[in-house]
Every structure is written in structure tokens, then in C-alpha cells.
Amino acid sequence: MTQTAGIVGGGVIGGGWAARLTLTGWNVKIYDPDPEASRKITEVMDNARRALPMLVDHDMPAEGELTICATLEEAAQGAALIVEAVPERVDIKRKVYAQIEAVNTDGIIASSTSGIMPTDLQAEMEHPGRLIVGHPFNPVYLLPLVELVAGEKTDPKAIETAKEIYASLGMYPLHCRVEIEGFLSDRLQEALWREALWLLHDDVATADEIDAAIAYGPGLRWAQMGTMQTFHLAGGEGGMRAMLAMFGPCLKWPWTKLMDVPDLTDEFVNKVGDQCDAQAGDLGPRDLERIRDDNLVGIIRSLKGGDWGAGRVANTHQKALMRIPGAEHPMVTQRRVVPVDWTDMNGHMNEGRYGQLFSDAAEVVMAAVGADDDYVASGLSYFTVDTTVKYLAETHAGERIEVHTKVTVGDGKKLRCFHEMRRVSDGELMATCDQFMLHVSLETRRTCEPADHVRKKVEALASAHAEG
């Protein structure tokens, strides 16, 4: 059953939530008084439609319905989840909650605040038990982290329900167990930002140099492990104890100004703004967002291979999206978007990725006949011994494709599949693959007869496709 979410506020965060929810199958009603809200939300949705499906190797759920509402009450009514993404002022947020409670007394209210205490937010509510903080990170539709924080009056069940909801969206819900201003991530980010502002203020480095100091070094480490694990690893065999012994005394040196911040005078604000404008050059916000999205897709996909960090979250979501087809003819064994890291110097899909795509299709066939992960773990599988691939049309990043598979041979140890890759938008045949596999023992690495239940399903599938 399709669930409905209401969103109040359609800025960068609200629009990002709308994209994440809609593209994972939720119906979304969103309200924002800004006359330009519809245009802005549409532009965010366009970027998200391109980027989010590239994170997974299966088709996304059917897109939910996105409705831009004329009133806040219309957006909140009947919603199981109400996302509040309005400006960071307690008085504005409390007024919004009163309007929500007038029409909705059941749905979880999740504030996207970056640091306001939920106890302060829920102080004047009639039903405070359902208010939580659900603090995301931009872009919401790609970054998996969402910090969950309860107030003094929050029902623990609201946090548990929220965990299930956000996990189903392909996110990593981090329960911040202690209510504290700024929560966890923003406190860490702000410490770095304060120091960056001082370095720029004192003309120690420009905005470009400060960003380079992160982007080409620690930022790459932080993409897959945090500060504590990074420094534990830096301590070598002695771990964090060795790291603290070596560098602990440095923490007392006056290197940073973390408890202070430069005066945000008009002159300094313009200085920072001018340098950041120079960094961007001719690239507008949508251009930079697309570059950012492509980079994030590539990083997260690279982490999928090692089932690590954000890659593990994407893998878990991908498994939840996987659908095993029946004996229909042909079987749809892949339905997905071509990711940015599958293209070569010519701008189209690399030959090796066709092989991966058809290999992924074959694994779906294997799962359909019972040769799934558990079967492989038992020591039995199918190995490809021969493929013939024909490339018929160019394939580009962002294109939605399908693979239609027909089992042409299913006899004893033999399993042969004929795959057709087609563009979804117009049905054009883009590539074919004739793939021949043999059943093997992973212990001896030699061919052997499949288990009876697998053999029978393979034979039945080959028979059904021969008749189709």
C-alpha cells in the first residue's frame, strides 16, 4: 500500500525530501508559500530522477505522486509522515505544528532542524509524543544519513517507527541518544567550518585552498570512515592509543580557534562570498549540483563493492528492491538506470559493463531457479563458459534500460540464456548476449549435476520459454 508524506517547506531540504520520498514510492504533498516553489522543486526532482536510480542495480519502485498544495493543512492532512523543513526559528516551527495538529493527530512529525532541541520544539504541542528530529544532509536524495533525536515528551515508538521508514528509503537512521544542540554531525562540521572561516579571515588561505586541503586528502578518507576510525588507523599497530600518545599533547597547542568565530561584518561576508563565487566560475547552482551528484554516485557505488559505509546502506536498499521474475516469456531480468561510472572516454557505456549487465541478468535467472545466495553458499553454482555479445546502439549514462532473457537450453549441467538489452523509452534493441553456463561444484571447481530442485526449475523454465 502506497504511503503518503506531507512536507512543509520546499527549499533545498524540503525539495530533497520530496525527491527521496517520491522516488522510493511514497505519495508526497508539499506546501511552500514561495511563488517560485514549483519551479525549484521541479528542478530538484529532475536532478534526483537522474542520480538516485544510479545507486542501485535494480529498478526503483513506481514513482509516487507529487502534489504541490495551496495550503499547509492540505499537505499535512492524512499523511503518515509530516516533514517540517521551515526556517530555523522556534516560533515559526511551533506555529507550523499547531496548524498540522489541527488536521492531523496521527502522523509522525519530523523536523529537519539542524540543531534546535526537539524538547523546545514540542513544548506547546497537544500531541508532543509524535514529534522527532529527522535531520538529513544535502542532497537528501543521495546522502543516506538522517539523525533521529527525541525530545523529553517523544514516544519511543515514534523513533522506532521512524527508523523503519528511513531505512526503507535507503537511508541510514542514526539515533542520537542524547538530546544536545547541533546533534552529532553538525557539531563536528561546524568545528571545521569555524576554523575555515578564521583561516580565510586572517588571509592564511583562500576558499579554494581551504577546500583543496579537505577534498584531496581527509575528505576522501571521510567518505568511507569517520574521524575516530581514521585516527585509530593512523596510529598503526598501536591504534588510537599510539595516536593519542603521539599527537595528544598537540591538542593543547593554540592551533585552532574553535571557541571563537570572526565577526560576520558586511566586509567579511562579501570577502567569503566573492571567493566562493570565483570558485564556481561559470557554473550555476544546477551545474554544481549535477557535478556533485555524479561524484557522490561514483563514491557510493565504489563503496558498494566492499559493502562498506554508505555502500552497505545502498546494497541493503538494492536487495530490498530486487524482484525475482516468474516463468514469463521473456523474463525481465534487469530494469535499471545506467550509472555515470559505466561510461568510457567516448561518453557511452563501456564494453565491460555490458558483460556485467548480462552477468547480473544471469544471476537473476539463477535466483529464479533456486541457485540463489544460499545455494552458492552451500557450494554449488553456475559458471559462464562462453558469451557472444553484439553491440547494436550507443548507451549513455542516465538512460533507463531493461534486459529481457530467454532460457534456450536447460538440460542437466547446461544452462543457456539469450539476453536482449532494450531502451525503456522507445524499446530500441541496444545489445544482445548469448550466454552459456555450466553447473559446478565450488569445492572441486569442476562441473557437476545440479540439485534436483534447481534442475527441475531450469528444465521447466526452458520448456516454458520454448513454448512462448
Domain 323-467: CATH superfamily, name plus number: Hotdog Thioesterase (3.10.129.10)
Predicted local confidence at residue 298, as pLDDT? 92
- Domain ranges within the chain, ordered by starting residue: 4-183, 186-281, 323-467
Q: What's the Cα-to-Cα distance from 153 to each of 107, 128, 201, 248, 308, rounded to whole Å?
A: 16, 6, 42, 40, 35
Torsion of CA 267, 268, 272, 277, to 10 degrees: -10
Per-residue DSSP letter, 349: B
Predicted local confidence at residue 122, as pLDDT? 98
Run of H or E residues at 327: none
Predicted local confidence at residue 421, as pLDDT? 98
Compute the distance between CA of residue 389 and CA of residue 401 in angstroms, rounded to an integer. Answer: 16
| Per-residue pLDDT tens digits for 376-415 | 999 999 999 999 999 999 999 999 999 999 999 999 999 9
Q: CATH fold of 186-281, please?
A: N-(1-d-carboxylethyl)-l-norvaline Dehydrogenase; domain 2 (1.10.1040)
Please state, for a pLDDT cut of 70, what percent of the chain lies above it. Answer: 100
Predicted local confidence at residue 254, as pLDDT? 72
Q: pTM value?
A: 0.87
Helices 266-280 and 207-215: crossing angle in degrees, nearest 10, is: 60
Predicted local confidence at residue 240, as pLDDT? 85
Instruction: Give the residues of the chain that fall short of pLDDT 50.
Output: none
Predicted local confidence at residue 328, as pLDDT? 81
Q: CATH fold of 4-183, please?
A: Rossmann fold (3.40.50)
Beta bridge partners of 27: 4
Three-state SS across the chain?
CCCEEEEECCCHHHHHHHHHHHHCCCEEEEECCCCCHHHHHHHHHHHHHHHHHHHCCCCCCCCCCEEECCCHHHHHCCCCEEEECCCCCHHHHHHHHHHHHCCCCCCEEEECCCCCCHHHHCCCCCCHHHEEEEECCCCCCCCCEEEEEECCCCCHHHHHHHHHHHHHCCCEEEECCCCCCCCCHHHHHHHHHHHHHHHHHCCCCCHHHHHHHHHCCHHHHHCCCCHHHHHHHHCHHHHHHHHHHHHHHHHHCCCCCCCCCCCCCHHHHHHHHHHHHHHHCCCCHHHHHHHHHHHHHHHHHHHHHCCCCHHHHHHHHHHHHCCCCCCCCCEEEEEEECCHHHECCCCCECHHHHHHHHHHHHHHHHHHCCCCHHHHHCCEEEEEEEEEEEECCCCCCCCEEEEEEEEEEEECCEEEEEEEEEECCCCCEEEEEEEEEEEEECCCCEECCCCHHHHHHHHHHHHHHHHC
Predicted local confidence at residue 264, as pLDDT? 84
